[in-house]
Amino acid sequence: MTFESLGLDEALVRALQSAGYENPTDVQARAIPAALAGRDLRVCSNTGSGKTAAFVLPALMKVLAARQDPNNKPKKGEVRGPRILVLVPTRELSMQVAKAASNYGRNVPFMSVTSVVGGVPYPAQLKALRSPLDILIATPGRLIDHIGSGKAVLENVEMLVLDEADRMLDMGFIEDIEHIAQQLPANRQTLMASATFAGEVGRLAQRLQKDDVERIEIAGHTEKHENITQQLMWADDLDHKHALLDHLLTDRDVDQAVVFTSTQIDADRLADRLAQMGHSVAALHGGMPQGRRNRVLQNLRSRQLRILVATDVAARGIDVPTITHVVNYGLPLKAEDYVHRIGRTGRAGRSGRAVTLAERRDVAMIRRIQHYTTQAIPVATVAGLEPSRPAPEMFGGARPARGGAPRGKGGFGGGGYQGNRDFRSGPPRGGSPFERERSFGGDRPQGDRPWGDRPSFNRNERPQFQDRGNFGGDRGGFGGDRPRFEDRGGDRPGFGGGDRPAFSGERPAFGGERPRFGGDRNERGPFEKRADGPHGHAPRGPGGFHSAGKPSSAKPRFASSGPSFGKRPRKDV
């Protein structure tokens, strides 16, 4: 299949051929004919599949049709606004779309493409909005500002494109998108590209699009990316991670590389460190002025930079074919961002390599990434830089049949209820690599005895409590032949038996009349004379718990025989 067979104009085909594109990708072959027929589209495909051209080329066809219509010529001084409106989540992605539109539409006479994004002075954007305009590419926030000031005219928009719609909703732009859509003609054509159309993204699509929608899904985030070699390298600590990164970047196979970090501070620090080592490197993140970000991307495209250290702000906006390596120095906050990160390499069918550097604390995120992509990331090591500990078991694993490590000695960190776990990599035998780590239905041994080898418990054989007429009654034991307290030796008084010694503490009686603070306490009779009280408790007499009978063999808590309630006994130092 060729681009001519899709129904594209000869001027666009010549521009594509000059850019090196002869045949359309799968998503282009399905999306372009449907878009040219005027249908709304929902496109779900992986990064690097060519979906940008899938909506830019139909948009350029609308611009060409307007050029050929003599009734569409604007009057002098008339501001009609754009015919195509493209909404994107980031400035970098807006630059990528604008570059694609300019390259593919180079043979369209008098075509005008403008980007309206944050970080750029307003006067330059206002001047562009007042000029004849064909394609407007904007971030929702900045376009809302121009709509509020009355400078953006959107009444002639024929096509609305939402690129990376899921990302825009994640960034909180849903209300801005709906407000922008209300300014557009109702008969417009709406094209949406997203990693998923589930949840809020799908509900937004239902509100913005017509009922007759063409749904196109090409693999998506579960595609195996066969042209990208993915590897996972475990690091013991930060120094070990730096050593692995240095080894990767000094490889002769690296043409250009993107190193992703989790924060802006990490990006700046790592770029400074690599620059001190002699690398041609620059940082790119959202905290930089827009002019500086543009210069960094331009230097990357012109091959003046070999290494780019970036945050996720650049994960969806870099389209440089010469990027051969992607290194995840810091893991992304969301699993889907991993797919967009590694998609910076292996663009348009080229081969690439994506290496993730992870520490033990990153195990949970690695599992979420593998669950999202439904693929296991192969573990790799570098000779001489192997981790000191075995790789964590990412998908669980069976315990040893018998003789497992005692509690508190197994697992990473020296403890845990799982005993001595096996950290061998790879999926468990006989099951999917994404089964839960623990299975309740499996034939798994537990500790020193096999599963199910527990003593049966019969309610009818449950030992009954003996009649406890007092605290020292003969209690039926749960422990069977377990020795009683008095048989354990030592000078502790016997817990059972009716001759329990007197309690010599200072605690007042639980029931009855409490003595006043500072007053003297009355004495009570010996314990054995109090054992026949109601309900098996000591009779509630006027006295407290103290006994005036025989002295106890147990060591009293305090030496005083009967201090007043309000006085605190003294201890000898």
Whole-number pLDDT of residue 188? 94
Residues of 35-72 as b/e, b for ≥16 C-beta within 10 angstroms? beeebbbbbbbbbbbbbbbbbbbbbbbbbbebeeeeee
pLDDT at 455: 43
Residue 189: per-residue pLDDT: 95
Give the Cα separation of 185 and 183 in Å (integer): 7
Asked whether the whole model's pTM tops 0.75, one would answer no
* Cβ proximity of 40 and 205 under 8 Å: no
Distance CA 202, CA 319 (A): 27
Q: How far apart are CA 474 and CA 486, in angstroms?
A: 13
Q: Pick from 533, 338, 167: which is nearest to 177 by CA?
A: 167
Share of the chain above pLDDT 70, in %: 64
Phi, psi at 481, each rounded to 5°? -85, 20
- Helices of type H across 437-554: none
Contact 381, 233 (CB under 8 A): yes
Cα of 255 vs its chain's centroid, Å: 30
DSSP bridge pairs for 327: 259, 355
Residue 224: per-residue pLDDT: 62
Name residue 192's amino acid: M
Phi-psi region of 171 (alpha: psi -120 to 50; beta: other; left: phi over 0): alpha
pLDDT of amino acid 473:
44
Q: Is 514 left (phi over 0), alpha (psi -120 to 50) or beta?
A: beta
Domains and CATH numbers, the chain: 3-217 (3.40.50.300), 228-373 (3.40.50.300)
pLDDT the model gives residue 434: 34
Give 565's contacts (C-beta < 8 A, 6+ positions apart): 506, 508, 515, 516, 517, 518, 519, 521
* Cα–Cα distance measured from residue 214 to residue 496, given in angstroms and rounded to the nearest whole number: 83
Query: Which H/E stretch holds residue 353?
Result: strand 352-358
CB neighbour class for 226 (10 Å; exposed up to 12, middle 13-18, buried from 19): exposed
Half-sphere exposure of 500 (CA within 13 A, CB side): 19
Distance, CA of 29 to CA of 42 (rounded, Å): 14
pLDDT in tens, 414-468: 333 333 334 333 444 333 333 333 333 444 344 443 334 444 444 444 444 444 4
Q: How far apart are CA 438 and CA 101, in angstroms?
A: 51
What is the pLDDT at residue 490? 45
pLDDT of residue 453: 42
Q: 487-516 in b/e burial notation, b at 16+ Cβ within 10 A?
A: eeeeeeebeeeeebbbbbebeebeeeeebe
pLDDT in tens, 111-168: 899 999 988 888 889 988 888 889 999 999 999 999 998 889 899 999 999 998 888 9
Residues of the chain where predicted confidence (pLDDT) is lower than 70: 47-48, 70, 72-79, 219-225, 314-316, 348-349, 395-573
Return the pLDDT at 571.
56
